[in-house]
Structure 1
């Protein structure tokens, strides 16, 4: 299969590209940064420079390659700006989808998030609505996700992967990441808010498997949604950082998500089933 990966030099792409190549696919990795071309080629894929905000450029790039499937891993996380990330989800996705449609692409797999659900008392399944009535600034993120998922659904076969909070190499939770720095400075309070985590390698494995999944939405999270009062002390201990301060309260949307659909119905098995062991392994 010919596969075009947008956002191929990101934290998931670095795991995903070699898995796709090993599976026998012909892979082209896209990056907007020419300095990442060698990284992509070292992972076994062809590499091209293209800008997701350049509509005509995207149409030309995908039109020339004519892939069988497009894997959408575009994000904008380095600036910590929810507006920048929402823009790439809205405008970048729109251009990617339009380019794929013009090239006759039949399948698209796209990265979404699992903490976009409306408030509730239990981990969210895929049937729970998105939190479209959220107040600002959360609304910026939700609107971006809703636009992304609606656009991707225009592709005949479309798989939306709602990833958990990513940890592992090159993520914010890496030993050199922004969250690790905050933990060392005791700037991360432990609250009752529940998070579903996901190791980046498990995210990549899900994208690989999703090439054979039917159209739909899937929570890709580990097996143990947990409050900050449980996971954060384990994380700080693995970092050898000070114990976190305890802060009471949480938001209703901090509920975690259930992976039952992907795990039980479609055979996705996380290599890191829980953050408890995952943090320790990732921070060695």
Structure 2
């Protein structure tokens, strides 16, 4: 297929692109800088210059493609409302361009919060709806277009897509430990985060492109739940720092913006995804990556 990828040079996208090329797809990618464009061209990817605010570039990419894999996101934690606005506008643009064509739209989403005290499954709808919801409610928006001729598939990634070079949530937690001199966890540390290695997630995206039915969701989750205490202890062991609890009322002050996320339980399973797509994660676990030094580099912002 001709596949247009947004975020093609990003953390997940740069691993997805080789998987798509190896599967025989013809790939085009959105690039907002000369550096990103050159990196994509070196891999044999056709470059479409633009970004999430350049909606015409999204239309151009989608118009020529048989499938769109939407992975880009601003991730502006200093201005989350702007990230939500941009994501909503981007998906509105892509669904409008694909409407009535039967073409595929795979879009990045996240595992949902716990439902009635249990981890959500792939078969449950994402509760985030509307323009002001997390990610602009774009998963629900895309699913509304299934009946309007768009083959929408939700890619629900674990809160940590880890690996050497990761600059996301775990990198932010490691940086807090360096700055404060303690590897901390919220409360009793029993809340859990699901996790997946970047390369395992990339392989799943390629499988989902070929085999996921319209209106479905896949869970890019290799580990259902790693406790925040275990994460903190692994960080402390790697950095040579003590580990301790932070009282719930002090989480925001200690951790900053990442504290609200670190205090959530974001566990999730992936048994249906594995069974339906034949996906078997094989790369290191989150704690193995931390112990091996995947987060030893300087943090440059999520």
TM-score normalised over the length of structure 1: 0.82
Please name the residue that 2:190 is paired with: 192
SS in 2 for 1:189: strand
After superposition, residues 124-163 of structure 1 pair within 5 angstroms as 124-132=120-128, 140-141=133-134, 143-150=136-143, 153=146, 154-163=148-157
CA distance in 1, matches of 2:232, 2:141: 31
Please name the residue that 2:285 is paired with: 274
Q: Deviations over 1:188-217 (max 9, x none)?
A: 631332111122212211111112222201
Please name the residue that 1:229 is paired with: 229
Instruction: Give structure 2 stretches of 5+ with no counterpart.
Output: 249-259, 297-302
2:93 to 92, 95, 109: 95
User: Relative to structure 1, is the Cα distance of residues 174 and 93 closer, same or farther in structure 2, using a 3 angstrom cutoff?
Assistant: closer
TM-score normalised over the length of structure 2: 0.78
Indicate whether 1:8 and 2:8 are aligned: yes
SS in 2 for 1:123: coil
CA distance in 2, matches of 1:2, 1:25: 6
Indicate whether 1:243 and 2:242 are aligned: yes
Please name the residue that 2:268 is paired with: 257
SS in 2 for 1:195: strand
CA distance in 2, matches of 1:97, 1:142: 15
1:206 to 192, 199, 204: 204
Please name the residue that 1:48 is paired with: 48
Of residues 262-271 and 245-254 in structure 1, the stretch that sits farther from structure 2 once superposed is 245-254
RMSD of equivalent CA atoms: 3.0
CA distance in 2, matches of 1:30, 1:197: 27
Please name the residue that 2:163 is paired with: 168
CA distance in 2, matches of 1:277, 1:40: 30
CA distance in 2, matches of 1:174, 1:79: 11
